[in-house]
Amino acid sequence: MSSSDSSNKNSAMPRRALSRRALSLAALHCSLWGAALLVPGLAQATSAAPAAGPAASPAAKALPKILVLGDSLSAEYGLARGEGWVALLAQRIKAQKLPFEVQNASISGDTTSGGRARLPALLEEHKPAIVIIELGGNDALRGLPLMSSSENLSAMVRAATHAKAKVLLLGMQVPPNYGASYGRDFAAMYVEVAKEQRTALLPFLLEGVADRPDAMEWFQPDRIHPLAKAHPVMLDKVWAKLRPLLLR
């Protein structure tokens, strides 16, 4: 073999090596491009990192809450879900696009002492803007002392007020068979608590229902719990006292 042949052979070897390397790089490029088409986002990952986009928007601020602390009159006892005045209140607020959310913490059979015990945790959990207290009827049914019921109601109003919530107290009355004197004192209890605590008051939640001539046609067979048709009337009574608190 001549020196020129040897030189040509030696010069060809690097060219062939370079060709193989170029082909390998081309194949690798094609492989990555094809993968990028099959796997969305891979093309961006293999290229220069894009400029950072706008920061994620913060979570929508929770609506202020209206907390209802009541007994069976507010807990839809004997009704289909959504028929009680509290559920109707939530529907009205939504329909009127008012910036509030309703939280019903009512329990059938609850008393003022039960509500007083439960309220601190509810205030801590929900941090309500408004608290509606509808309790006391079961105290009367159980023959509990009015002084105890009054103190429990006052304590609940104070706790809610201390938590910077506005308060609406819903009063109740007892049937005549409890005695005229007890009936007057029981109804007056709510008025006195509201006056002392300087809070809004609806003196009688069942006004327009229990005091109508055909009242028995508006109650369930137990003659204690209103039928579904009575709850829009109850809501209207509550609404008249609640609406000013919503607009303040």
The one catalytic residue in 2, 4, 57, 222 is 222
Nearest to 110 by CA among 135, 147, 79, 146: 135
**Tokens 């007057």 map to which residue?**
184
Q: What would the two tokens of residue 155 be?
A: 């304590």
Query: Could you say which DSSP state residue 65 is in?
Result: E
d(CA 102, CA 80): 18
237: left (phi over 0), alpha (psi -120 to 50) or beta: alpha
Task: Classify 159 as helix, strand or coil.
Answer: helix
Candidates 72, 74, 149, 154; catalytic one: 72
5 is catalytic: no
Catalytic site includes residue 225: yes
> Distance of CA 21 to CAs 13, 27, 31, 34, 246, Å?
12, 10, 15, 20, 76
Task: Tell me whether residue 2 is one of the annotated catalytic residues.
Answer: no
* Strands of the sheet with 130-134, listed across from one edge: 101-104, 65-70, 130-134, 166-170, 200-202
Amino acid occupying residue 89: L
Please check whether residue 208 is in contact with residue 231, taking contact to mean a CB–CB distance below 8 angstroms.
no
**Enzyme catalytic residues:** 72, 222, 225
